[in-house]
Amino acid sequence: MDLESTIVAISSAQGYAKRAMVRISGSKAFSGIEKLGVKPKFGSVLSSKLDIGENKLPVLVGAFPKNSSYTGDQLIEIQLVGNPILARRLVSLCIEATGGREATAGEFTARAFFSGRISLAQAEGVSATISASNNAELSGAALLREGALSKLTKPVVSVLTRTLALIEAGIDFTDEEDVEAISNSNLNCELNSAKESLSSIIHHSVPMASLRYLPKVVLAGKPNAGKSTLFNYLIGKQRVVVNKISGTTRDAIEEGVIFGSVKALLVDIAGLENKHDNISYSSQITAQNAIANADLVLWCVGPNDTAPSANEQTIVVKTKADLRDQKEGAICATTGVGIEKLKIQIAELLQLKTIVNLNAIATLPRHEELLSVAFGGIEGAETNSQTPELCAACIRDSLHALGKITGRISPDDVLEHVFSSFCVGK
Ligand SMILES: Nc1nc2c(ncn2[C@@H]2O[C@H](COP(=O)(O)OP(=O)(O)OP(=O)(O)O)[C@@H](O)[C@H]2O)c(=O)[nH]1
Ligand SMILES: [Mg+2]
């Protein structure tokens, strides 16, 4: 991995936006920006103008000195108007001025790791934060960024390192029969304590991917109950056909919606009925499957339908308030009456269902594999506790795997694998 070149990239999201950001990191970052006519001060943000093509554009330039920047090297952040063509032109100008090159995916964070600013697990937390799609994922990513996994595995590493040192000392002193570096019972006790700690970490961890799961909210009820009208209202566009003829919806249609702070998949399905022709039969099966897989059912009840009882999986929604004598607690999806209250009710129920155990540690597939290898190493050491050389080799395997979590023992290919999942500019 080339750590010498000065690197440049657009660090803001792709496409048009209010603002865009271009970042430069490396030893030529300051001299480069000065060549473009801007004289930034360390640790401050300067308002200036840059000649990017035809016009002088107002920009904000933040300058972070070596050792106190994100990357650990000189870092310049230029904010400009969010036009992607101008941002690309600025990248080219900066590359020319610094003699650098365009950054590859995750290279800014990779530099932060190589300069010792962050551990590998923390770098992975940065990537997870960028791609988080809900609160649960954000909390998981925050724990990764704070290095929770590295902190938790640290005591296990100390026990194993100490035990390994004693076993190795024992091997060195094999000639001196009265010297016993570690007794068999102490060895087993240390290995058991390391195993229990690691088992507890594994037990309390949840795969990051499982936090990405979007709860399914299904609109069910009799035909013509007003499900599709409510679906369109909740997603904010005319996505599905609405008609007074009952049996209009045949397929299950899904759209992403945010209820409060929970992102969910809203599903519109066919009205439930006892028809036996071929098409109805398939759409009834589709509808029943959707209900069976729902995290929450919004059971829509028209003015003439009978209401099922509500439970923690079902909210009974009385539709078409305008056509009812008793309007109390009913919604109207053509005018929006009562829907804000319904959304709050949905959000509260979803929040309960998607609650994350704050003590749980979010792990990426790489961590799961390494934790399992480390655990296997300790088990191997226990099995071979009577044979010091084999026992030591197993402990070394375990330590090696734990070291890879924080990145202390990391070959280049692992690092490239980790940072390639980042976006360019981060
Ligand atoms: N007056 C009034 N009409 C409504 C309301 N909501 C829906 N409708 C009408 O009721 C009819 C059926 O609405 P849909 O949303 O298609 O009902 P659905 O439950 O999806 O029906 P299926 O797809 O056949 O199961 C349409 O003519 C809607 O315009 C409402 O709140 N008030
Ligand atoms: Mg419908």
Question: Judging by DSSP bridges, how do beta strands 296-301 and 262-268 pair with one another?
Answer: unpaired
CATH architecture, domain defined by 126-209+360-406: Up-down Bundle (1.20)
Query: Using 50, 70 and 90 to split pLDDT, how confident is the model at 402?
Result: very high
Three-state secondary structure along 22-68?
EEEECCCHHHHHHHCCCCCCCCEEEEEEEEECCEEEEEEEEEECCCC
pLDDT computed for residue 409 by the predictor: 47
Asked if 112 contacts 72 with a C-beta cutoff of 8 angstroms, the reply is: yes
* Euclidean distance between CA atoms 218 and 223, whole angstroms: 14
Q: Is the pLDDT of residue 161 over 80?
A: yes
What does the mean pLDDT of the chain come to? 88
20 DSSP β-pair partners: 80
pLDDT computed for residue 190 by the predictor: 95
Does residue 276's CB lie within 6 angstroms of at least one atom of ligand 1?
Answer: no
Q: Average pLDDT of 173-198?
A: 82
Sign, CA torsion 94/99/102/104:
negative
**Yes or no: domain 7-116 corresponds to CATH 3.30.160.270:** no
Residues whose beta carbons lie less than 5 angstroms from ion ligand 2: 227-228, 248-249
Query: Using 50, 70 and 90 to split pLDDT, how confident is the model at 121?
Result: confident
Residue count of the chain: 426
* Euclidean distance between CA atoms 367 and 421, whole angstroms: 15
pLDDT computed for residue 291 by the predictor: 96
CA dist 108 to 362, 395, 405, 421, Å?
A: 23, 34, 20, 13
Does residue 323's CB lie within 6 angstroms of at least one atom of ligand 1?
Answer: yes
332 DSSP β-pair partners: 337
Atom of ligand 1 minimally distant from the CA of 335: 31
Q: Average pLDDT of 131-159?
A: 83
Domain extents in the chain = 7-116, 126-209+360-406, 216-353
pLDDT computed for residue 171 by the predictor: 79
Q: How far is the CA of 235 from the centre of ligand 1 (A)?
A: 16
| CB-count exposure of residue 13 (10 Å: 0-12, 13-18, 19+) | middle
Query: Atom 2 (ligand 1): residue with closest C-alpha?
Result: 320
- Among the four given CATH numbers 3.30.750.24, 3.40.50.300, 1.10.580.10, 1.25.40.10, the one describing domain 216-353: 3.40.50.300
Asked if 159 contacts 194 with a C-beta cutoff of 8 angstroms, the reply is: yes
Does residue 304's CB lie within 6 angstroms of at least one atom of ligand 1?
Answer: no
Query: Using 50, 70 and 90 to split pLDDT, how confident is the model at 176?
Result: low
Asked if 235 contacts 247 with a C-beta cutoff of 8 angstroms, the reply is: no
Does residue 128's CB lie within 6 angstroms of at least one atom of ligand 1?
Answer: no
Q: Which of 232, 241, 242 to mutate to test the pocket of ligand 1 (most atoms within 8 A of CB)?
A: 242
User: pLDDT tens digits for 197-219?
Assistant: 999 999 888 888 777 778 899 99
Q: Average pLDDT of 215-226?
A: 96
Query: Using 50, 70 and 90 to split pLDDT, how confident is the model at 178?
Result: low
Does residue 280's CB lie within 6 angstroms of at least one atom of ligand 1?
Answer: no
Across 8-22, 120-134, 174-188, least confident range: 174-188
| CB-count exposure of residue 223 (10 Å: 0-12, 13-18, 19+) | middle
pLDDT computed for residue 168 by the predictor: 86
User: pLDDT tens digits for 37-56?
Assistant: 999 888 889 999 999 876 78
Q: Average pLDDT of 310-316?
A: 86
Q: Is the pLDDT of residue 362 over 70?
A: yes
